[in-house]
Amino acid sequence: MDHGHSSQELCFESSIPAEQEAAKRSHRPMNSVAAPPCHVLAVPHPGRGHINAMLNLCRLLAARGGVSATVVVSEEWLGLLGGGPAPSGVRLEAIPNVVPSEHGRAEDMAGFVEAVYTRMEAPFERLLDRLGAAPAAIFADTFVPWAVRVGNRRGVPVCVLSPPSATMFSVQYRFDRLPVAAGGTACPVSDNFGVVRSARRDRHWPGREQVQVPLGAPRRLRRRARFDPSRRLCDRPVV
């Protein structure tokens, strides 16, 4: 658990030295007119590691120039992140605290995940309406599947960020390759936080023969050995 850490750990500064930024600007023609920045809306899963990853992604995009990002967090997380300046080109917007508090959420982790899946979508759409002009894209955490539905309804492209390790992403993306249990109706997963023990990892995840595969939060993985189409985010490779 990370409840004891200071929120200062979540404050970010650009790792690009000022002289490099100045050098980039010096190559721009004097008579050129800068185009308005491309605005993207980012929605991380409301957890420390996920918010860190999304903020870092937005910071890197903004540092390249021509991109501004609005990161959507809960009111609680807005307070936790308020201890330091936001990176240039990145701002925060808040939706109401519709999910359990960061402090003590582990007491009912399944309930927390369910709240993220079912309670954040409506206030996020109201925020989109309030912001006015549609963003050029929505950047969504893989653990925020409803963001894809929102983008589809509004005709806004959705880019998916997977904050866990590349190994975990590979496991989840190839989960439909797992053999189903006897009878063909269930995958070999005991519960929402179970471990795949009976799969032939050498066959389905080459190079991962010795890895025990924790499934963590994604409920979509426990029903069958193929993704629920209503929850799967990655219908095509993410570049």
pTM of the model as a whole: 0.63
Q: pLDDT value at position 175?
A: 73
Q: pLDDT value at position 197?
A: 43
Is residue 69 within 8 A of residue 61, CB to CB? The reply is yes
CATH 3.20.20.70 fits 34-163, yes or no: no
Q: pLDDT value at position 221?
A: 40
Is residue 90 within 8 A of residue 59, CB to CB? The reply is yes
Q: Domain locations in the chain?
A: 34-163, 167-233
Q: pLDDT value at position 179?
A: 62
Q: pLDDT value at position 186?
A: 45
Q: pLDDT value at position 36?
A: 64
Q: pLDDT value at position 35?
A: 56
- Could you please report the per-residue DSSP string of the chain? --TTS-GGGG-----S-HHHHHHHHHTS-TT--PPPPEEEEEE--SSHHHHHHHHHHHHHHHHTSSEEEEEEEEHHHHHHTTTSPPPTTEEEEEE---S--STTGGGGHHHHHHHHHHHSHHHHHHHHHHH-SPPSEEEEETT-THHHHHHHHHT--EEEE--S-HHHHHHHHTGGGSPP-TTSS--S--STT-EE-SS-HHHHSTT-TT--EE--S-GGGSS-SS--TTT---SS---
Per-residue pLDDT of the chain (239 residues; tens, 9 = 90+): 444 443 334 444 434 443 344 444 444 444 445 556 799 999 999 998 899 999 999 999 999 888 999 999 999 999 988 766 667 889 999 999 999 898 888 888 889 999 999 999 999 999 999 998 899 999 999 999 999 999 999 999 999 999 888 888 787 777 776 665 444 444 444 443 344 444 444 455 555 555 554 444 344 443 333 333 343 333 333 33
Q: Is 95 exposed, middle or buried (0-12, 13-18, 19+ CB in 10 A)?
A: buried
Q: pLDDT value at position 171?
A: 76
